[in-house]
Amino acid sequence: MKNNIIIWMVAGLVAFAVSALAQDNNCLTCHQDFEDEDGPAHKIVRDIHYQKGLLCNDCHGGDPTLEDMDDVRNSKGYHGVPSHFEVPKFCASCHSNARYMHEHNPSLPTDQFDKYKTSKHGQLLFGKKDTKVANCVSCHSVHEIGDAKMPHSSTHPLNVAKTCGKCHADPDYMAEYNIPTTQVQDYLESVHGKALNEDHDLGAPTCNDCHGNHGAAPPGVGSLAAVCGNCHAFQAELFNRSPHKEAFVENDFPMCETCHSNHNIKKPTDEMVGAEEPAVCVRCHESGDGTKGLETAAAMAESIKELVSVRDEAKAVLANAQQKGMMTTDEEFALKDVEQILIQTRTLVHSFNKDEVVVKAKEGLEKAKIVEEKSTSLIDEYFFRRKGLIISSLFITILAIGLYFKIRKLK
Ligand code: HEC
Ligand code: HEC
Ligand code: HEC
Ligand code: HEC
Ligand code: HEC
Ligand code: HEC
Ligand code: HEC
Ligand code: HEC
Ligand code: HEC
């Protein structure tokens, strides 16, 4: 919220500075006069180009000192409104010009147009003159273009799914293409969509984090199948040294999607591993198929299940000790270690090697048992102290009564 206020204040100051500059820019003043609120000259105050000092004539050309639109049209350099087909080259006239962009913002890449051409969108636009695919303004909007940090921007992480969904979630619009239109819906219901949109975890991916901004997969990713490993490095590393690596390449199974799907990724559960439905292992392995697949699956499932159940017992006994007011700081820390080991054990499933899972689970089991034992002795201590208290209070009471009679006798 505070951030938003600062952003709006800065935007206000910038708008003030630019409006001083724009005072004798006739394009802007004349257009602002006759356009309604949704017109380019009003929207433009939210546009990063305007905020950085660029005006109508920087994009559309024409002489901004002229006072009549017809004169503008006939003036040098006026190129009017680009068609859907022309837009990428129009934007690229600045954005692919490394020298020009460097003067404005040296950290901004200048490869958008090159990447766009390699994307499915670019291929169809230039190869088939298909104007239904996305061009620069379909994703960035026009006259209110923002960078990815501006909350109103169509490329802000929280808005990207909607931006792509304008086309990809519209079955009528996409009817002529033989691809599903469920990506947005699936994504919004997935662990990633929920982490981003509900928990505002900006580390969680939206469409462009997996697909790349301009079509090419993100840096360091050979194919889209490898994109998950950018963030889930540990699972990818385990997978890559597992027996599945080669088998999946041979069979053309994508490495993570095969078990987790791509858009509809759900929170994994322990039921996913094992030798019976609904475990994913039984989709490909069956008993007697000559592989160690199911045997491994069963052993892993057994280890994880045992660790979970001993962890649960330890947790219950510890809670009991806490309830009795005992000092349990050490045991609480030890239980946190057990939780950590359980997470690591689940991750190790991706080694598809039962020994790695069994060894890790055993480490957790031992720790959990210690927590249980220590918590049990704390509870014993509680009862011991309570018994002691009762006996000593009894003793004191008897003593007091004895004293009372003694004093009376003395009187
Ligand atoms: C005196 C007012 C006025 C000035 C100055 C003016 N425009 Fe326009 N402009 C208009 C009007 C009115 C239209 C609506 C089109 C029409 O019906 O003629 C228009 C249309 C346009 C269009 C739509 C495409 C087209 O050719 O019709 C663009 C783009 C445009 N103006 C950009 C500019 C730029 C850039 C400048 C400055 C270099 C500028 N205008 C200066 C009044 C103006
Ligand atoms: C960053 C470059 C850029 C700037 C700056 C810019 N425009 Fe545009 N403008 C475009 C593009 C690209 C289109 C074509 C949009 C499309 O294909 O939908 C366009 C379209 C238009 C149109 C056609 C109708 C419409 O609403 O889309 C008008 C009129 C127009 N611009 C006027 C202006 C005026 C007036 C300004 C200054 C206030 C301005 N533009 C600033 C890039 C720009
Ligand atoms: C006249 C040159 C020019 C044209 C044409 C142009 N841009 Fe820009 N664009 C710039 C400059 C300059 C910046 C600001 C760089 C800075 O200072 O951060 C910018 C910034 C941007 C940014 C924000 C980048 C960031 O993350 O900071 C986006 C997105 C963008 N432009 C998209 C477009 C699109 C889409 C088009 C075509 C409709 C377009 N631009 C046309 C010059 C241009
Ligand atoms: C399919 C949607 C899509 C299309 C088409 C598209 N962009 Fe982008 N673009 C994005 C997204 C999303 C980002 C935001 C990246 C981020 O999160 O920082 C972006 C970022 C940018 C940036 C900021 C710098 C960068 O490269 O990250 C510029 C400049 C830009 N785009 C220009 C363009 C131009 C020029 C075109 C047309 C040749 C274009 N874009 C086409 C979605 C698109
Ligand atoms: C203006 C509409 C439009 C927008 C906006 C749009 N797309 Fe597309 N996209 C299309 C069309 C049309 C196709 C072509 C379908 C096909 O592959 O035949 C396509 C193709 C694709 C493909 C290739 C599908 C395949 O064939 O395997 C991917 C991936 C894709 N888009 C992702 C995105 C992402 C991510 C965004 C947002 C950042 C986005 N698109 C925004 C219209 C759009
Ligand atoms: C976690 C990564 C990830 C995210 C997030 C993601 N995708 Fe995908 N998407 C994939 C993978 C992987 C494929 C399969 C591509 C392949 O195997 O070549 C795919 C395929 C596609 C396709 C091709 C048609 C299909 O369904 O197979 C489209 C279109 C598409 N995604 C659009 C989107 C849109 C729109 C969003 C955002 C709502 C999105 N994707 C979010 C990873 C992702
Ligand atoms: C941009 C980084 C990023 C990319 C790319 C990415 N993820 Fe994620 N993933 C996350 C984040 C962040 C979470 C949320 C962590 C949490 O809260 O559990 C997450 C959660 C998950 C979860 C749930 C984990 C759990 O314990 O609940 C699974 C499964 C998952 N991702 C699989 C994938 C797959 C498969 C791909 C590729 C198709 C992928 N991810 C691509 C960042 C990413
Ligand atoms: C999409 C299909 C698929 C799924 C799902 C799958 N596997 Fe596999 N797995 C294979 C293939 C193919 C091989 C290679 C078999 C061969 O070498 O003949 C393999 C090999 C293995 C091997 C090595 C077997 C050996 O004899 O060396 C183990 C262990 C294994 N898988 C365990 C699992 C476990 C555990 C699961 C569930 C978490 C699982 N697999 C899920 C396809 C799959
Ligand atoms: C052969 C099936 C299979 C493949 C392939 C697979 N996973 Fe998993 N994954 C599982 C199973 C089964 C679980 C559940 C383990 C549990 O909770 O007991 C799981 C759990 C997860 C989790 C949550 C637990 C953790 O490790 O934090 C993440 C994240 C994850 N997988 C990511 C990935 C990524 C990334 C890839 C690709 C490198 C991948 N998975 C490939 C079967 C698979």
Task: Note the pLDDT tens digit of each residue in 331-376.
Answer: 999 999 999 999 999 999 999 999 999 999 999 999 999 999 999 9
Q: What is the pLDDT of residues 268-315, one digit of tens each?
A: 999 999 999 999 999 999 988 999 999 999 999 999 999 999 999 999
The more confident residue out of 207 and 2 is 207
Substitution candidate for ligand 2 out of 142, 147, 166 with most atoms within 8 A of CB: 142
> Which positions ≥6 away from 347 have C-beta within 8 Å?
234, 235, 238
Question: C-alpha distances in angstroms, 81 versus 47, 85, 144, 145, 343?
Answer: 17, 11, 16, 16, 56
Exposed e or buried b for every residue in 84-93, given b needs 16+ CB within 10 A? Answer: beebbebbbe
Nearest residue to 80 via CA among 71, 72, 88: 72
Q: Residue holding tokens 């559960």? A: 269
Q: Ligand 8, closest atom to CA 273? A: 38
Instruction: Flag whether 357 is in a domain.
Output: yes
Hey, how many other C-beta atoms are within 10 angstroms of the C-beta on 122?
20
Least confident of 74-78, 217-221, 322-326, 388-392: 217-221
Are 342 and 368 in contact by the 8 Å Cβ rule? The answer is no
Give 218's pLDDT tier (boundaries 50, 70, 90). low
Among protein residues, the one with the nearest Cα to ligand 5's atom 14 is: 133
Which residue has the least CA distance to atom 41 on ligand 4? 136
Burial class (CB in 10 A: 0-12, 13-18, 19+), 197: middle
Closest Cα to atom 21 of ligand 2: 81
Residue closest via CA to ligand 3's atom 13 equals 49
Give me ligand 4 centre to Cα 261, in Å.
26
Using one digit for the tens of pLDDT, what is the confidence trace for 169-178?
999 999 999 9
Tokens for 47?
């546009």
What ligand is nearest to the CA atom of residue 344?
9
pLDDT value at position 411? 84
Residue 406 in domain: yes
Residue 201 lies in a domain: no
Number of domains in the chain: 1
| pLDDT > 90 in the chain, percent | 90
* 200 Cα to the center of ligand 3, angstroms: 27
> Is residue 264 a part of any domain in this protein?
no
- Report yes or no on 81 lying in a domain: no
Tallying the residues shown for the chain, one arrives at: 411
Q: 86, 167, 112, 89: which is closest to 134 by C-alpha?
A: 167
Establish if 351 belongs to a structural domain: yes
| Pocket test residue of 107, 108, 112, 114 for ligand 4, highest count of atoms within 8 A of CB | 112
pLDDT score of 22 more than 70: no
**Residue 329, pLDDT above cutoff 80:** yes
Please, what is the average pLDDT of the chain? 93
Note whether residue 365 is domain-resident: yes
On whether residue 363 sits in a domain, the answer given is yes
Best substitution site from 260, 261, 277, 284 to test ligand 8's pocket, by max atoms within 8 Å of Cβ?
A: 284
Query: How far is residue 96's CA from residue 292's CA, in Å, rounded to a whole number?
Result: 54
Smallest-distance ligand from the CA of 231: 7
38-57 mean pLDDT: 97
**Residue among 237, 256, 260 whose CB has most ligand 9 atoms within 8 A, to mutate:** 260
Average pLDDT over residues 208-233: 83
pLDDT at 215: 76
Identify the domain containing residue 395 by its residue range: 297-410
Contact 99, 108 (CB under 8 A): no
Rounded to an integer, what distance in angstroms lies between the CA atom of residue 282 and that of residue 296? Answer: 12
pTM for the whole structure: 0.93
Q: What is the pLDDT of residue 225?
A: 77
What is the C-alpha separation between 53 and 286, in angstroms, rounded? 66
Residue whose C-alpha is closest to residue 300's, from 324, 264, 275: 275
- CA 109 to centroid of ligand 3, rounded, Å: 11
**pLDDT score of 216 more than 70:** no
Nearest to 54 by CA among 109, 103, 106, 115: 103
